[in-house]
Amino acid sequence: MPQNGRKNDKAHLPIHPTPHAINLSGDKKRVYEFITRQYLACCSKKCSGHLEVYVYKKWGGMLLLD
């Protein structure tokens, strides 16, 4: 694991969603949704469901290999 190394790059912890935020609107809501979708896409099994949760990338005609 990266935390077991001897060096520290002083980077902040990864950004991840917190509990559901129902009171957000406008840009704050869009940023929260982007972070949440990116997080879910990264946690999905090997491209399974990626396009359903991460709508920001258009794959038209691209071939995804195993």
Number of domains in the chain: 1
Q: In terms of residue numbers, what domain contains 47? A: 24-56
The predicted pLDDT at position 4 comes to 64
The predicted pLDDT at position 1 comes to 43
Token pair for residue 54? Answer: 């991460």
Q: Is residue 12 part of a domain?
A: no
Q: Is residue 62 part of a domain?
A: no
Q: Is residue 51 part of a domain?
A: yes
Q: Is residue 8 part of a domain?
A: no
The backbone region for 32, taken as left when phi is positive above 0, alpha when psi lies in -120 to 50, beta otherwise, is alpha
The predicted pLDDT at position 41 comes to 72
The predicted pLDDT at position 25 comes to 92
Per-residue pLDDT of the chain (66 residues; tens, 9 = 90+): 455 667 777 776 677 777 778 899 999 988 888 888 878 777 766 666 666 766 766 666 666 565
Three-state secondary-structure class, residue 4: helix
Q: Is residue 41 part of a domain?
A: yes
Q: Is residue 44 part of a domain?
A: yes
This prediction's pTM: 0.50
